[in-house]
Structure 1
Amino acid sequence: MNNKLAPTYQRMFGKYWVLWYFKSNNYSVIETEFKTLLDFYLHSDTLDEFSAKISSVDDVSDVKTVVNNLDTYLESCNASSASQLDASPAYKTSKRHIERQYRIKDKLITIFYDTDLVEKTIHPSLAHLETNAQPKKSAITFDLYTDNGQLNLFKNQQLITSVPQRDYHLVQGKFIMQLLTVIHAKEESDWIGTFHGSTVSDGTNSVLFIGKSGKGKSTLCALLAAHGFELLADDVSPMLSDNSHIYHNPTAISIKEGAFGTLQPMVPGFDDLPITLFNTTKGSLKYIPTKYPNKDNYPCKAIIMVNYEPNSKTQLESASVKEILETLIPDSWLSNHPKHAEQFLDWLVATPLYQITYSDTERVIETISAVFNGLEDNY
């Protein structure tokens, strides 16, 4: 009855449906029963017609309450969460207190920071790429500084984003997106999205590992990298629209203090890596640089949600699309272009979804190796 609020795209995953809404760029996961009611509602012209349709499948005593619930659901799905700046902050050269240069492939990147604390939001993950060379001109220049309670990111003195200082992670994600456009010679509009997850390759295919903070995602990827796998991307995994491949993100792997003991004997030079203390929530961190992969992009053939539990058995199970998206979506950036949303859903439908619980490092490496072997058999 209110078709203007209808989802733009929808895909079925077993007992779940994933709906995408163009107006808000929101993804919603609902069960089949609710989807049936929603379809009846969207394809009815009057309340009486809707009432007749649902009475054929369910005994509903209060149709108006059902309609109100559906209206509320659709309005929330169509509500945009994007915030707008009241005013665009002006660029200030006077904030250039710290200068760092990084060489990534054949590109030279210069970043200016205003304080040591702001520098810690970006530099530790790129420190292994720092160079002291003084070429004629950088490929790109970034400025990152705080002003009036806002954290501002500029590229070539043009504002990219400005967020409250407490939301520094949003600037980190936006910076990586801009960095990737430079090193892969792409535009931001070329990407389906940047997923909050780490991607590992066996040289043929890749697997995206996701998980909430502290669940062992980065530690597992560091273990795999130490045992012959290629780290394609840590924490931010970009997918290109042209081929739906995950592309290389050159930042180092961020490791929390709780994993130091596990990785120390496996990572050469681990003790020499500096400790970064950014805030009390994250605690002490070390950043492990890894070798460049043989290729800068691979097809992603599976998603695995990681859950480290002390003294647990290693267990690989199927995961629901609801569990996967509830973990993947919140800190990911996904393009709002309809073509990209459709590509994302098509890729998701064709991709096996798993969850793994582990504590034994040897066993989990064997299990992940078996997953990769299975992907090669299937493709």
Structure 2
Amino acid sequence: MENIVSPKHLTQLSDSWVLWFEVSNQYLVISKSLKELVDIFLDSENEDDFHSQLRSSSDLSKHDSHTYYTEISELLRTVNRSPENELPKTSNLPHSEETDFKATYGFGNISIAVNYGSLAIQNLIHPQWAHATVLDGEIPSIVFDVLQKDHHLYLFRNQTYIGHYAVTDYHLLQGQFALQLINSLYNKSESDWIATFHASTVCNDKEAIMIIGDSGNGKSTLAAVLMANGLDVLADDFSPLSAKNQELYRFPSGISVKEGAFSTLKPMFQDFDQFPIYTSSSKPVIIKYIPPMADFAEAPSHFPCQKIVMVNYDANAVSEMKAIKLEQVLETLIPESWLSPLTSNSRLFLDWIKEVSCYELTYSDNGIAVSQFKKLFDS
């Protein structure tokens, strides 16, 4: 088929298949029955051949066959389109310069300085790292510049251009900055990561459990509650998975909690009232960042993760934890995360994810949620 390429990787789950397409770095989760139709489509020379093969195994009308053919064709063409990358001319790049908005952050023996082009740009990144601020002193290990020119935000690392993003897509800048930060902390490059998941992760001294959920479902608040009850927050909202060992790594940002959770969390953290108040960059809501309790320089940096919990806070629900199918988790996990475009890393992701056990926690009672997580760590 013209412009249509078969998936590079295929992995069978319990009731479905996951297909990965290299050119677009897209994953499709499809049913077994649709997988059979896709196989016939890819094996067919044209629509008549497709219809003929279907008729040999099922009593399907020409009209229905045409509908299947058209829909599968459009689906596969979509996942075989290369993403468009706008590359700026070097002459159009803004020049790095000292600004009035500069901060230096300390992580053990690594110090990272960031020059922000304006207060508005600083407010996109600084709040979640404010707890790690140190006084200017020694020459920083790494220097980032985050600048604006016209309607784009530009990111530089040690004066090397990293990328640029429309001001309206500032979340892409935030994600790339986070990726460059963990590269700096662990002396790695983008190719060393299988994925960075939009998920919070908690751990004990042996393993990690990843927490996922739609925005507003309480995953960061739950992570803070679990930390107050003796667990370690390995990462909040940004959980990086290494290609070397397929383990999740520590991301030492503050834990973002919304105003609605302040009254719940205040009794759990002695200095809660002293934590600065910010306005979220994505929504007009008040938030605070709770500093991680673990010392980045001394705490273990990575743990294996073989359990994912999808959480949903519902004040009127009966709290319960139950096992769910991986397919349900992938519907949330894949669209919300950055997944490496490298063929080898995609294979590692599929090999890792199919061994993960998945659960759903609906909760209204924090005490029950804590006990369920501790029970899950012990299982």
Residues 1:106 and 2:128 are matched in the alignment: no
Bigger drift between 292-301 and 360-369 goes to 292-301
Give the deviation of 1:55 after TM superposition.
2.0
Q: Deviations over 1:66-111 (max 9, x none)?
A: 2222211100111234442354541323462311111111101000
Hey, what's the Cα distance between the residues in 2 that align with 1:258 and 1:281?
14
Query: Helix, strand or coil for the counterpart of 1:91?
Result: coil
Q: TM-score, normalised by structure 1?
A: 0.93
Query: Helix, strand or coil for the counterpart of 2:112?
Result: strand
Match of 2:79 in 1: 77
Which structure 1 residue ranges, 5 or more long, are not aligned? 375-379
C-alpha distance 280-177 of structure 1, shift in aligned 2 (>3 A): closer
The aligned runs of 1:9-48 (5 Å cut-off) are: 9-45=9-45, 47-48=47-48
Give the deviation of 1:364 after TM superposition.
0.6
The aligned runs of 1:246-261 (5 Å cut-off) are: 246-261=248-263
Asked whether the equivalents of residues 120 and 278 of structure 1 are also in contact (C-alpha less than 8 Å), the reply is no
Match of 1:124 in 2: 127
Query: Helix, strand or coil for the counterpart of 1:68?
Result: helix
C-alpha distance 24-265 of structure 1, shift in aligned 2 (>3 A): same
Match of 1:55 in 2: 55
Query: Helix, strand or coil for the counterpart of 1:121?
Result: helix
Q: Which of 300, 303, 308 is equivalent to 2:305?
A: 300
C-alpha distance 46-163 of structure 1, shift in aligned 2 (>3 A): closer
Q: TM-score, normalised by structure 2?
A: 0.93
Give the deviation of 1:362 after TM superposition.
0.2
Asked whether the equivalents of residues 16 and 321 of structure 1 are also in contact (C-alpha less than 8 Å), the reply is no
Match of 2:197 in 1: 195
Hey, what's the Cα distance between the residues in 2 that align with 1:94 and 1:139?
18
Aligned length: 373
Hey, what's the Cα distance between the residues in 1 that align with 2:222 and 2:59?
50
Query: Helix, strand or coil for the counterpart of 1:250?
Result: coil
* RMSD value, Cα: 1.8
Query: What percent identity do the matched residue pairs reach?
Result: 36
Hey, what's the Cα distance between the residues in 1 that align with 2:171 and 2:300?
28
Match of 1:5 in 2: 5
Asked whether the equivalents of residues 91 and 159 of structure 1 are also in contact (C-alpha less than 8 Å), the reply is no
C-alpha distance 211-103 of structure 1, shift in aligned 2 (>3 A): same
Asked whether the equivalents of residues 96 and 143 of structure 1 are also in contact (C-alpha less than 8 Å), the reply is no
Hey, what's the Cα distance between the residues in 2 that align with 1:263 and 1:295?
26
Q: Which of 238, 241, 244 is equivalent to 2:243?
A: 241
Hey, what's the Cα distance between the residues in 2 that align with 1:308 and 1:56?
50
Match of 2:358 in 1: 353
The aligned runs of 1:148-163 (5 Å cut-off) are: 148-163=150-165
Give the deviation of 1:281 after TM superposition.
1.3
Query: Helix, strand or coil for the counterpart of 2:268?
Result: coil
Query: Helix, strand or coil for the counterpart of 2:188?
Result: coil
C-alpha distance 14-227 of structure 1, shift in aligned 2 (>3 A): same
Hey, what's the Cα distance between the residues in 1 that align with 2:5 and 2:336?
25
Hey, what's the Cα distance between the residues in 2 that align with 1:57 and 1:308?
47
Query: Helix, strand or coil for the counterpart of 2:54?
Result: helix
Hey, what's the Cα distance between the residues in 2 that align with 1:281 and 1:160?
27
Give the deviation of 1:48 after TM superposition.
4.8
One-letter identity of the residue aligned with 2:245: N
Match of 1:377 in 2: none
C-alpha distance 95-164 of structure 1, shift in aligned 2 (>3 A): farther
The aligned runs of 1:84-233 (5 Å cut-off) are: 84-87=86-89, 89-94=92-97, 96-135=99-138, 137-233=139-235
C-alpha distance 141-365 of structure 1, shift in aligned 2 (>3 A): same
Give the deviation of 1:2 after TM superposition.
5.8
Asked whether the equivalents of residues 208 and 300 of structure 1 are also in contact (C-alpha less than 8 Å), the reply is yes
C-alpha distance 82-353 of structure 1, shift in aligned 2 (>3 A): farther
One-letter identity of the residue aligned with 1:165: V
The aligned runs of 1:359-374 (5 Å cut-off) are: 359-374=364-379
Asked whether the equivalents of residues 103 and 129 of structure 1 are also in contact (C-alpha less than 8 Å), the reply is yes
One-letter identity of the residue aligned with 1:316: M
Bigger drift between 103-112 and 309-318 goes to 309-318
Give the deviation of 1:321 after TM superposition.
3.4
C-alpha distance 336-130 of structure 1, shift in aligned 2 (>3 A): same
Give the deviation of 1:251 after TM superposition.
0.6
Hey, what's the Cα distance between the residues in 2 that align with 1:324 and 1:240?
20
